[in-house]
């Protein structure tokens, strides 16, 4: 079953990433595990740039508990891609991101998927509520 293709216009946050030489596998395209790295980088960039998240100093951290990716077109080095990030659900302690990777000049996703962060106390690793200021900052990226 083919997924419904995501479009660039559906994402308020687009994060550019330069593919690297090491991203390519022996078949000459970006290896599938690297797409998850792009998702992780873009989701964290959204938190840092728009929610004031401090990776090194925050008393909470986001752990990935679920992820998926549909691979629709090959990516390769050298390419600059953009990762679209939206939030499809904000829970008490979790965020579900809707993500898509776009090639330059293309409106349809080359890959798309989701990522779920559960926020936990940095020391105890017990689930903790998303702070209100962070939640408020991320509301602009919530899509229904």
The alpha helices in the chain, defined as continuous H runs, are 32-51, 132-138
- Residue in the block written with tokens 């998927």: 113
Per-residue model confidence (pLDDT) at position 4: 87
How far apart (Å, rounded) are the C-alpha atoms in residues 98 and 76?
Answer: 22
Per-residue model confidence (pLDDT) at position 37: 96
Q: What is the dihedral of CA 25, 30, 31, 36, to 10 degrees?
A: 150
Give the rounded percent of residues in the chain with a pLDDT score beyond 90: 96
Query: 3 pLDDT band (50/70/90 cuts)?
Result: confident
Per-residue model confidence (pLDDT) at position 144: 76
* pLDDT of residue 25 exceeding 90: yes
How far apart (Å, rounded) are the C-alpha atoms in residues 81 and 48?
Answer: 20
Per-residue model confidence (pLDDT) at position 2: 75
8-141 has which fold?
Thiol Ester Dehydrase; Chain A (3.10.129)
Q: Where are the domains of the chain?
A: 8-141
| Strand positions, DSSP E, the chain | 13-18, 60-71, 80-90, 94-103, 111-121
Quick one: average pLDDT of 88-98? 98
């Amino acid at each position: 079953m083919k997924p419904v293709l995501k479009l660039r216009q559906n994402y308020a946050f687009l994060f550019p990433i330069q593919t690297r030489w090491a991203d390519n596998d022996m078949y000459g395209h970006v290896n599938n595990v690297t797409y998850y790295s792009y998702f992780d980088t873009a989701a964290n960039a959204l938190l840092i740039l728009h929610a004031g998240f401090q990776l090194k100093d925050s008393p909470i951290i986001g752990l990935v508990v679920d992820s998926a990716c549909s691979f629709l077109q090959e990516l390769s080095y050298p390419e600059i891609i953009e990762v679209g990030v939206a939030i499809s659900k904000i829970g008490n302690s979790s965020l579900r991101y809707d993500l898509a990777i776009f090639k330059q000049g293309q409106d349809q996703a080359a890959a798309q998927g989701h990522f779920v962060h559960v926020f936990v106390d940095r020391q105890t690793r017990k689930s903790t509520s998303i702070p209100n200021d962070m939640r408020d900052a991320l509301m602009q990226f919530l899509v229904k």
